[in-house]
Structure 1
Amino acid sequence: MAAAKGTPDIEDLARVAVTAGRAIMTIYTGPFDVEAKPDDSPVTRADIEAENVIAAGLAEIAPDIPIVAEEAAAAGDIPDVGDRFFLVDPLDGTREFIERNGEFTVNIALIVDGAPVMGVIHAPASGEIVFADSARGAFAGRVALEENEPTISDIRQIRARSVTEDGAVALVSRSHCDAQTHEALARFAPGAVKPLGSSLKLCRIAQGAADLYLRHGPTMQWDTAAGDAILRAAGGCVVDLAGAPLRYARHVAGVSRDFGNPDFCAFGDARLKARL
């Protein structure tokens, strides 16, 4: 299905994400410094260079769509946005990048009227890529890391699963998990609880490998938008703790920070929402 006039193709967004991933891996394989942003979260040269690559790539394919990107926003560079804009996390899971465990991603999402309608998540250390267009569905593939001109292959459609009798598999943040999270998870009676870094958690739910991800505490919309687009297209949902779908805009009711998220839960099987 062709994209609407003025709307990029999901394949275009995937190529931008892969190019950013190559820039990240060039830095990942060598020494790098770690600095602290004003909120004390870490940032590396890989975050900055990947964001520059993405900004240039998106400006080429969709010059009229504003870009809200993590590092630019941290520096106070936030454009005026209308009903369409990109949300970009150039290196989601910076702590995982620093720890060199491979669980970090490039996240790009297109927002239309407050909802994520396209999303790409690329894990450059493994070559995994997951992407979705609300009009076409959600897909997963592999990026050939050794090729000078990388290609995406082994593309297959993905769907979230129904919860099994063995109980839900719950995912938690590898770097941001506390006693409150484990207490809240008890209402879902999970059969297993597994830690995982970055937006890979939303990918695993969309791929039918896990069932839910509950997050208390501060997150930003660029952390979730791409994974939310993918999970919605795969039949799941990401909702606040009142059960309403997350909204994507500079100002969201009940959230004090620009482009901030409320506490939320991601589900593969929407029937789990009844336990919130």
Structure 2
Amino acid sequence: MFEHALAQQVVRITHEAGEAILEIYKQDFTVYEKSDASPLTDADLAAHNIIVKGLEAISDLPVLSEESADIDWQTRQSWSDYWLVDPLDGTKEFVKKNGEFTVNIALISQGIPILGVVYAPVLKHTYVGVSGLGAYKIDNQQTTKISPKVHQAPESWKVVGSRSHQSPEIQTLLAELDGETELVAMGSSLKLCLVAEGKAHLYPRLGPTSEWDTAAAQAVVEASGGKVTIIDGLDSALDSDAVPLRYNQKESILNPYFLVSC
């Protein structure tokens, strides 16, 4: 992999968490219910514990994880740098056993994701993004630099959609595009990575997400040369001065709607 010591350490931690997830994935597992009625498995908790222990061994920065999200805003707002973690993004994909789930670790500095690792344990795909150094995909021990693909007419727009979440407003936005559109279905944070590696042109998200759902993959997108911008309408999101998605800027950990693009 490209030489960046901290990124290499984070990759190792995501892989260790992924192995723990796979041990449970191969078995008959228990699905619990969170307070918001989303599924929670033993795999989320196993990965969380490995990641927190691993990050504490390499850094003294605080960690905000989906599985330890009860840190109050008064504490969080004093953080300039911290780790933002989703131990298992795509729990519904995990439960369905379609392999489209990921381990996500991001380093946030002043609200910006400056380092991110997204690992898909079943697919054995690792995406790494480091601000200023580019984005890479590790597949079967081979490391390839990735970049988004600019749409060229008359090719169809490849637009990423979710297998588990669909918004009726998406069709309204797609109608604003000039040309045909083709839906590329994918689960979890892999949706953002598809844009980062040029397999899709756009990923509009007009549904709820939390900051840990997107941070690591956004680091990959932005390091690759892509953008993740707050969406009020498709035209405004595609503007060069569109507002980028940022982190730990407010008490709520819910993201606004956003667009991933080149």
Q: TM-score, normalised by structure 1?
A: 0.85
Matched, 1:41 2:38: yes
Match of 1:29 in 2: 26
Match of 1:262 in 2: 256
Match of 1:246 in 2: 245
In 1, distance between residues paired with 2:99 and 2:192? 16
Match of 1:67 in 2: 63
In 2, distance between residues paired with 1:135 and 1:12? 18
Q: State the secondary structure of the residue aligned to 1:187.
A: coil
Q: How far apart are 1:167 and its partner, in Å? A: 2.8
Contact 2:167 2:207 in 1 (8 A): no
Contact 2:210 2:253 in 1 (8 A): yes
User: Which of 68, 85, 90 is residue 93 of structure 1 equivalent to?
Assistant: 90
- Count of paired positions: 247
Matched, 1:162 2:150: yes
Match of 1:129 in 2: 126
**Residues 1-276 of structure 1 correspond to what in structure 2 (within 5 A)?**
9-62=6-59, 64-73=60-69, 76-77=70-71, 80=76, 81-142=78-139, 153-165=141-153, 166-189=155-178, 190-242=180-232, 243-249=242-248, 251=250, 258-268=252-262
Q: TM-score, normalised by structure 2?
A: 0.90
Contact 1:185 1:214 in 2 (8 A): no
Contact 2:159 2:202 in 1 (8 A): yes
Contact 1:170 1:194 in 2 (8 A): yes
In 1, distance between residues paired with 2:167 and 2:120? 25
The Cα RMSD (Å) is: 1.7
Q: How far apart are 1:225 and its partner, in Å? A: 0.5
Amino acid in structure 2 at the alignment position of 1:34: V
Q: State the secondary structure of the residue aligned to 1:132.
A: strand
In 2, distance between residues paired with 1:33 and 1:77? 27
Amino acid in structure 2 at the alignment position of 1:16: I
Shifted more, 182-191 versus 220-229: the winner is: 182-191
Any idea what the Cα deviations from partners look like across 1:116-149, whole Å, max 9, x if unmatched?
A: 0000000000111010111211000125xxxxxx
Amino acid in structure 1 at the alignment position of 2:255: N
Q: How far apart are 1:182 and its partner, in Å? A: 2.3
Amino acid in structure 1 at the alignment position of 2:219: A
Q: How far apart are 1:2 and its partner, in Å? A: 7.7
Contact 1:228 1:238 in 2 (8 A): yes
Contact 2:111 2:249 in 1 (8 A): no
Amino acid in structure 1 at the alignment position of 2:168: A
Q: State the secondary structure of the residue aligned to 1:9.
A: helix
Structure 2: which 5+ runs fail to align?
A: 233-241
In 1, distance between residues paired with 2:246 and 2:138? 28
Amino acid in structure 1 at the alignment position of 2:195: I
In 2, distance between residues paired with 1:154 and 1:105? 19
Shifted more, 78-87 versus 217-226: the winner is: 78-87
Shifted more, 22-31 versus 180-189: the winner is: 180-189
Q: How far apart are 1:9 and its partner, in Å? A: 1.1
Classify 1:125/1:208 alpha carbon distance in 2 versus 1 (closer, same or farther; 3 Å): same
Contact 1:131 1:139 in 2 (8 A): yes
Amino acid in structure 2 at the alignment position of 1:191: T
Structure 1: which 5+ runs fail to align?
A: 144-152, 252-256, 269-276
In 1, distance between residues paired with 2:174 and 2:111? 28
Contact 2:44 2:67 in 1 (8 A): yes
In 2, distance between residues paired with 1:77 and 1:232? 27
Q: Share of identical aligned residues, percent?
A: 39
Contact 1:171 1:214 in 2 (8 A): yes
